[in-house]
Structure 1
Amino acid sequence: MKILYLNFASPTDNATNNSIPRILAKYQKQDEASRMNRFSAWWWGASVVERVDCFASVAEHQRYLETPLGRDPGPLAAYEQARAQVRGFFLKHPQCSKIMVGMHGLYDDTTYGYSLPQHDAPKVSYDKAADIVLSFLRDHVGSRPISLSLVMCYGARSAQFDVSHDPDRLGGVAGPDLSSAFAFKFYAGLCKYLNVKMSARTGAASFDDTTGASRVESELTLRHRIQMVRNPFTQLEQEQLDAQSQLELDMFMQDLQPQADNPFNQEQVKAADRAGDAFAQEQLVSLEGADPLTRAKREAAWSRFSQLPQSKPKKSGKLTYEYEPGTHQVVIKSKYPEPRVVQRVGI
């Protein structure tokens, strides 16, 4: 597999630097499996993931567009460097049909992608990002079909971010309007000019350390994250917790972090860990109430659960987008647990 990774995150961002080797490892394992088929291995060759850092070119691209015809837009070093790297990639791999576009997303923002996962980081709007991606790809892919993956936390999440985006809630009358998401608006800027299908995720996204498969934050994890952000502890509440509820919290933490009777017995240690994991998930599901003690318990349970693999399942939160020229509609599908159409949007 030949993959072009257009990176709108910071070049020094750890998430990007960790993700790309995992993506490559995933396809290298597929290469090994395909070696049994000598023709396939000869035809496609070894997998490649080439990263092109694009964020520095955003301002220069805008200046280029705004410069009147015949006038000098000034130096466009970053923009031209990125374009040249894309051109060089397609000269080496002219049949590449897999593109990844990476940036950071925030669950409460459907307009901007970010260079870092924080509101005060440099950002790029969905229309600017689509314009740059189009300018980089259009001359090289022509009309042939391509697959694009938007590698962006919450990219497919709608403006109704606090409404459940579980697959069974999508497509219903009370479900979120997926056309308000960054991913849809970004795709709408591309699909009339490129023959492209796209995927994006509704939650925080990452790649599995071992397999390279994508993982997406569960709705349970995100729901409690939003509650904690909206309802932080006041100083008075924290003082009340410290004075009146410390013993009960300590007992709760003992259930949340049980210790093996024999810390040198690995089977006992693993059993204690499993018990703590199960207790954390059970409490997140069952704890109700807005009093400080209940909130403190939920926060502690969330802290443990959010570190577990089940907080980011491998097969969840993935939407796909495909444009139908005949109907002028974008068909949005939920991939898991079974592919199904959840919304059609005219553009």
Structure 2
Amino acid sequence: MEILYLNFTAPDDYATGNAIPRILRKYQDRDQASRMNRFSAYWWGASVVEQVDCFASVAEHQRHLLTPLGHDPGPLAAYEQARGQVRGFFLKHPRCSKIMVGMHGLYDDTTYGYSRPQHGAPRVSYEKAADIVLSFLRDDVGRRPISMSLVMCYGARSAQYDVSHDPDQLGGVARPDLSSAFAFKFYAGLCKYLNVKMSARTGAASFDDTTGASRVESELTLRHQIQIDRNPLTDQEQEQLYAQHQLELEMFMDEIRPQAANPRDQVQVKAADRRGAEFAHEQLLSLVGTDPLTRAKREAAMSRFRQLPQAKPKKSGKLTYEYDPGTHQVVIKSKYPEPRVVQRVNI
């Protein structure tokens, strides 16, 4: 598989630096399996993922668009360098049909992608991102079919971010309007000019260490994270908690992280770890309320639960977008647990 990765995060971003080797590992494993089939090995060759850093070119590209015809827009070194790298990639890999676009996203922002996962970081709007991606791809891709993956936490999440985006909650009346998401608006800027099908995720996204498969934050995890963000414990509340509920909190933490009677016995250690994990999961399913003690328990349970695979399942939170030129609609599908159409949007 030949993959072009258009990176809108900071060039030294830790998440991107980890994601690309994992993505490559996923396709290298497929390469190894295909070696048993000589035709497949000949056709696909060895997989490659090439990263092109695009964020530095955002300001230059905007300046270029705003400069009146015939006037000098000034130096466009970063933009031309990125564009030249894309052209060079397609010269080496003319059959490439897989594009990844990477940036950070925040669950409460459907307008901007970020260079780092925090408010206040340099950002790019969906309009500018789509315009730059289109300018990089249009000449080399033309109208041949391509597959695009928006590698962005919460990219497919709607403006109703605190409403469940579980597959069974999508589609129908009074459900999240998926056309308000960054991913939809970004895709709408591309799909009339490129023959592209795109995927995006409704939660925080990552790639599995071993297999490279994508993982997406569960709705349970995000629901509690939103509650934690909305009601952080103040210093005064924490002091009161330890003054009034210290013993209860200590007992709760013992349940979250139980100790094996013999720490050298791996069977006991693993059994204790399972008990703690199950307890944390049970607490997140049952914890209700905004009083300081409940909030403290929620934070402790979340800290433990985030370490578990079920906090980011492999098969969850993935939406796909495909433009139907006959009806002028974007068809949005939920991939898991079974593919189904959840919304159609006229554009």
Q: When the two structures are superposed, what TM-score results if normalisation uses the length of structure 2?
A: 0.99
- 2:57 alignment partner in structure 1: 57
CA distance in 2, matches of 1:86, 1:308: 38
Post-superposition Cα deviations, 1:176-202, rounded to whole Å, max 9, x if no partner, equal 000000000000000000000000000
Q: By how many angstroms is 1:134 displaced?
A: 0.1
Post-superposition Cα deviations, 1:183-236, rounded to whole Å, max 9, x if no partner, equal 000000000000000000000000000000000000000000000110112333
Post-superposition Cα deviations, 1:104-158, rounded to whole Å, max 9, x if no partner, equal 0000000000000010100000000000000000000111000000000000000
Ranges in structure 2 where 5+ consecutive residues have no aligned partner: none
Structure 1 counterpart SS, 2:255:
helix
Q: By how many angstroms is 1:312 displaced?
A: 0.2
Q: By how many angstroms is 1:307 displaced?
A: 1.6
One-letter code of the match for 2:104? Answer: H
- 1:233 alignment partner in structure 2: 233
CA distance in 1, matches of 2:172, 2:230: 27
**1:346 and 2:335 aligned:** no
CA distance in 2, matches of 1:327, 1:172: 20
Figure out how many residues of one structure are paired with residues of the other and give that number.
347
CA distance in 1, matches of 2:264, 2:199: 46
CA distance in 1, matches of 2:92, 2:234: 58
Q: By how many angstroms is 1:82 displaced?
A: 0.3
- 1:280 alignment partner in structure 2: 280
Q: By how many angstroms is 1:71 displaced?
A: 1.4
- 1:103 alignment partner in structure 2: 103
> What is the percent sequence identity of the aligned residues?
84
One-letter code of the match for 1:233? Answer: L
Post-superposition Cα deviations, 1:275-334, rounded to whole Å, max 9, x if no partner, equal 000000000001222221111111100110012111000000000000000000000000
CA distance in 2, matches of 1:315, 1:180: 23
One-letter code of the match for 1:213? Answer: A
Which segment is superposed worse, 237-246 or 181-190?
Answer: 237-246
**1:250 and 2:250 aligned:** yes
Question: 4+ residue stretches of structure 1 with deviation over 4 A?
Answer: none
Q: By how many angstroms is 1:174 displaced?
A: 2.2
Structure 2 counterpart SS, 1:124:
strand
Q: By how many angstroms is 1:265 displaced?
A: 0.3
Q: When the two structures are superposed, what TM-score results if normalisation uses the length of structure 1?
A: 0.99
One-letter code of the match for 1:152? Answer: M
Q: By how many angstroms is 1:239 displaced?
A: 2.0
CA distance in 1, matches of 2:163, 2:67: 43
CA distance in 1, matches of 2:189, 2:96: 21
CA distance in 1, matches of 2:234, 2:148: 44
- 2:223 alignment partner in structure 1: 223
- 2:122 alignment partner in structure 1: 122
One-letter code of the match for 2:83? Answer: R
- 1:112 alignment partner in structure 2: 112
One-letter code of the match for 1:290? Answer: T
CA distance in 2, matches of 1:131, 1:24: 27
Q: How does 1:197-212 map to 2 (within 5 A)?
A: 197-212=197-212
- 1:313 alignment partner in structure 2: 313
**1:73 and 2:65 aligned:** no
